[in-house]
């Protein structure tokens, strides 16, 4: 008998693995939970945790998750549920019972903490980590982690939302702020295979504020968002600015700022990097993540945590508070342009080390070349010699 043919029974639920999915049945209800790997080797703990969550939701008729967004699932009547998101992302969608159950499993597997926390200190710790910059660590501590292959929660969220969501508002001001129409910086709408983020040209801070202000200059109003990223955004798994930080639009905006502020041209068709050459050597700054290199050696830099990370005022754009990553990119370019102005000891030390390393390499290269010249060997000859065995 195949492993797949043996159903497991927990309470009123019958569970049957089917390839990369798990079919859960209870009375009239049947849901298919997709996994990221084969679902035939799941721990009993994972199954009981899943069933407990589903039974809790069905019995209580409501469930609340809190991360960067407050998400509430609430039963409207026997067949209809309401999923509401409040905070950075705001929407209300009506779901069937099956969809509500799937969404609850997806949100739980994404590591979103349930509110109020079940176990006092443990739950609160996860809550705190989730709302801080350590959400990745919080996800590792969640009950579903390490108990089997992860649920394909992004697929669940994207599929359900594609069917149900008309549009979600992306706002500035967070959960606690009084909602005002002018705080809406973008709308997220589903399309057939992806999602579209339409900028409203509002917003005075952060990456979306920057993209809004630059949308006219850079000539875009809509951004295409992959379904996976849209899923993360819709359940508030990461802050919106962080999710869009490596997007093409963000890179274009940073390319524009580097040109405007420092007068350095970064070609659109080349890599998303700023190259600077000075007496310290060759510097490279990535527009994606602000990664800084001197003479090929990585210089570890961190953006100071307190806000504002940066403020800019540009003609035709006005004043704007920068997001963390864009501030880091501009900072890295400033370090490369004026390394002698760096005050931080740890950073100075790294720069000096990378500089010395390059000088050492240069001197070594010069000595070797001179020595070879004395022996009557040309550098090209050496290259040919070293290349030959590889060619053979």
Which residues form the interface with another protein (CB under 8 A)? 173-174, 176-178, 183, 204-205, 260-263, 290, 299-304, 306, 308-315, 318-319, 321-322, 327-328, 330-332, 334-335, 338, 341-350
Question: Residue 50: which of 83, 19, 78, 22 has the closest Cα?
Answer: 22
- State how far the Cα of 62 lies from the Cα of 59, in Å rounded to an integer: 8
Q: Which is nearer to another protein, 78 or 305 (CB)?
A: 305
Alpha-carbon torsion (240, 245, 249, 254), positive or negative: positive
What are the phi and psi torsion angles at 172 (to 5°)? -110, 140
Please report how close the Cβ of residue 249 comes to another protein at its closest, in angstroms.
21
Closer residue to another protein, CB minimum distance, 114 or 332: 332
| CA nearest to 245, candidates 288, 213, 277 | 288
Among residues 93 and 292, whose Cβ is nearest to another protein?
Answer: 292
Q: Which is nearer to another protein, 17 or 310 (CB)?
A: 310
Residue 3: how many other CB atoms lie within 10 Å:
9
Q: How many CB atoms lie within 10 A of CB 282?
A: 14
Tell me whether residue 19 or residue 318 sits nearer to another protein (CB atom). Answer: 318
CA pair distance 194, 214, nearest whole angstrom: 23
The distance of closest approach from Cβ of residue 210 to another protein in the complex, given in angstroms and rounded to an integer, is: 13
- CA distances to 20, 37, 126 from 72, rounded to whole Å, are 28, 29, 18
Q: Which is nearer to another protein, 147 or 314 (CB)?
A: 314
Q: How far is the CB of 133 from another protein (least distance, A)?
A: 14
Asked if residue 268 lies in contact with residue 225, where contact means CB atoms within 8 angstroms, the answer is no
Nearer to another protein, 178 or 392 (CB): 178
Is the CB of residue 121 less than 8 Å from the CB of residue 129?
no
- Nearest approach in angstroms of CB 295 to another protein is 17
Report in angstroms how near the CB of residue 224 gets to another protein at its nearest.
30
Q: Judged by CB, which is closer to another protein: 63, or 354?
A: 354
DSSP code, position 7: -
Looking at residue 239, the DSSP 8-state letter turns out to be -
* Closest separation in Å from C-beta 71 to another protein: 21
Nearest approach in angstroms of CB 342 to another protein is 8
Dist. CA 350–CA 295, nearest whole Å: 12
Residue 321: its H or E element: strand 318-321
Q: How far apart are CA 168 and CA 57, in angstroms?
A: 24
- Residue (117 or 173) nearer to another protein, CB: 173
* Smallest gap from residue 15 Cβ to another protein (A): 46
* Least Å from the CB of residue 197 to another protein: 22
CB 349 within 8 A of CB 314: no
């Amino acid at each position: 008998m195949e492993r797949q043919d043996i159903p497991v029974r927990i309470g009123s639920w019958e569970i049957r693995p089917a390839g990369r999915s798990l079919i859960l049945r209870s009375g009239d209800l049947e849901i298919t939970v997709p996994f990221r790997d084969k679902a035939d080797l799941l721990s009993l703990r994972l199954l009981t945790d899943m069933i407990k969550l589903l039974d809790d939701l069905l019995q209580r008729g409501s469930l609340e998750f809190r991360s960067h967004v407050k998400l509430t699932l609430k039963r409207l009547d026997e067949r209809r549920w309401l999923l509401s998101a409040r905070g950075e992302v705001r929407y209300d969608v009506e779901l069937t019972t099956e969809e509500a159950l799937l969404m609850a499993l997806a949100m739980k597997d994404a590591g979103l903490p349930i509110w109020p926390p079940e176990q006092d200190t443990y739950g609160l710790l996860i809550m705190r980590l989730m709302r801080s910059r350590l959400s990745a660590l919080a996800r590792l501590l969640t009950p579903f982690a390490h108990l089997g292959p992860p649920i394909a929660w992004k697929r669940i969220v994207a599929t359900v939302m594609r069917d149900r969501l008309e549009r979600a508002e992306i706002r500035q001001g967070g959960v606690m702020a009084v909602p005002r129409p002018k705080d809406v910086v973008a709308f997220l709408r589903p399309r057939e295979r992806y999602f579209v983020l339409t900028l409203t040209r509002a917003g005075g801070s952060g990456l979306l504020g920057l993209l809004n202000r630059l949308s006219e200059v850079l000539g875009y109003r809509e951004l295409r968002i992959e379904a996976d990223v849209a899923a993360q955004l819709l359940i508030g798994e990461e802050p919106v600015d962080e999710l869009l930080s490596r997007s093409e639009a963000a890179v274009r905006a940073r390319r524009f700022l580097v040109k405007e502020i420092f007068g350095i041209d970064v070609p659109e068709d080349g890599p998303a990097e700023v190259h600077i050459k000075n007496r310290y050597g060759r510097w490279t700054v990535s527009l994606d993540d602000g990664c800084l290199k001197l003479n090929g050696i990585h210089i570890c830099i961190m953006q100071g945590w307190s806000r504002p990370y940066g403020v800019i005022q540009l003609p035709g754009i006005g004043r704007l508070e920068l997001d963390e990553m864009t501030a880091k990119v501009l900072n890295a370019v400033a370090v490369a342009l004026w390394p002698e102005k760096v005050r931080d000891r740890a950073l100075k030390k790294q720069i000096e080390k990378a500089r010395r390393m390059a000088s050492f390499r240069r001197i070594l290269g010069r000595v070797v070349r001179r020595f070879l010249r004395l022996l009557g060997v040309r550098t090209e000859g050496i290259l040919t010699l070293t290349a030959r065995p590889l060619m053979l």
